[in-house]
């Protein structure tokens, strides 16, 4: 299957440009890796090394690698980096999720909550634990509004970025479990249960893959960016039409890092 008309963009949420997203563009795969330091606040240089190593790995894997073999390789990479950094808690010290297109297998692969859009239909993954955390955050921020604080005062409040630190720490315990219906998958150094390793057949047409920094997907980068800008203007705290676990704040240009890549599959 031929790949043409590639459009790609990636930007961190911080004004300084730092991002834990990575774009993948090789001869045989393209897509997005969405990294996170996790609620255990692992050092930035550790997650940066993990993400950069994962990109390098994708440049070296054989074109016919299977999804399961790739997940195992990613998992081993993350585990090795965390052991090197002496991170004892694998669940709370970050990792990444991904969505990739395999040209050899003609499939879209995913672990986690990255999004894709194929032939005008969006496939988005939502974790109930994440929704509960976002709802809790929204309730707390609305309470601050009722106390008379303005949006600017809330964003500048010393507790703003730590409002749901405890729920997010609890959420991490649901990662890669196979014994709870609220569990979800990610590449964190522990085995990813089979239900969280997803594959979809890739038909011809426009394929868009993004990190979860885009609230909605469109067939062009311009339309996706315009929609995001409108959401941030209408709901800068991200407690309403764009319910999120993070919002705009000092030194931030969006609620999350964002990456977009698309191609026409022939």
Digit-coded pLDDT (tens) for 237-255: 999 999 999 999 999 999 9
For residues 70 and 42, which has the higher predicted lDDT (pLDDT)? 70
- Note the CATH number of domain 3-265: 3.60.40.10
pLDDT of residue 125: 87
Q: In the structure, what pLDDT confidence band is assigned to residue 5 with cuts at 50, 70 and 90?
A: confident
Average of per-residue pLDDT across 34-46: 82
Residue range 75-110, pLDDT digits in tens: 999 999 999 999 989 999 999 999 999 999 999 999
- As a whole number, mean pLDDT of residues 151-158 equals 96
Is the confidence at residue 256, as pLDDT, over 70? yes
Q: Which whole number is the average pLDDT over 33-47?
A: 84
- Residue 113 in this model has a pLDDT that exceeds 80: yes
pLDDT at 42: 59
Q: What is the mean pLDDT of residues 151-156?
A: 97
Interacting residues of 266 by C-beta distance below 8 A, sequence separation 6+: 1, 2, 3, 4, 204
266 or 199, which is more confident:
199
- What is the spatial distance between Cα 162 and Cα 154, in angstroms, rounded to a whole number? 12
pLDDT tens by residue, 182-215: 999 999 999 999 999 999 999 999 999 999 999 9
CB atoms within 10 A of CB 219: 17
Domain boundaries, the chain: 3-265
Q: Is 206 exposed, middle or buried (0-12, 13-18, 19+ CB in 10 A)?
A: middle
| Sign of the alpha-carbon torsion through 125, 128, 130, 136 | positive
Q: Lay out the sheet containing 198-201: strands in order across.
A: 21-25, 29-36, 95-102, 107-111, 198-201
- Read off the tokens for 137: 């955050």
Give the rounded percent of residues in the chain with a pLDDT score beyond 70: 98
């Amino acid at each position: 299957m031929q790949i043409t008309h590639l459009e790609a963009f990636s930007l961190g949420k911080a004004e300084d440009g730092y991002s834990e997203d990575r774009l993948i563009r090789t001869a045989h795969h393209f897509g997005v890796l969405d990294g996170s330091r996790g609620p255990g606040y692992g050092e930035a240089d550790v997650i940066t090394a993990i993400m950069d190593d994962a990109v390098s790995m994708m440049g070296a894997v054989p074109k016919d690698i299977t999804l399961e073999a790739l997940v195992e390789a990613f998992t081993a990479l993350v585990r090795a980096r965390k052991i090197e950094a002496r991170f004892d808690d694998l669940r709370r010290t970050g990792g990444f999720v991904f969505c990739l297109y395999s040209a050899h297998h003609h499939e879209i692969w995913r672990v986690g909550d990255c999004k894709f859009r194929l032939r005008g239909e969006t496939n988005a993954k939502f974790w109930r634990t994440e929704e509960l955390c976002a709802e809790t955050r929204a309730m707390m921020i609305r309470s601050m509004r009722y106390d008379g604080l303005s949006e600017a005062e809330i964003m500048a409040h010393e507790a703003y970025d730590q409002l749901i630190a405890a729920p997010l720490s609890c959420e991490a315990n649901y990662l890669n479990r196979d014994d709870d219906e609220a569990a979800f998958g990610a590449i964190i150094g522990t085995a990813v249960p089979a239900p969280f390793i997803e594959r979809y057949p890739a038909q011809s047409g426009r394929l868009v893959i993004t990190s979860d920094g885009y609230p909605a997907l469109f067939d062009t980068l311009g339309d996706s960016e315009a929609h995001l800008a409108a959401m941030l203007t209408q709901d800068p705290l991200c407690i309403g039409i764009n319910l999120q676990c993070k919002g705009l704040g000092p030194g931030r240009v969006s609620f999350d890092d964002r990456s977009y890549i698309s191609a026409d599959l022939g």
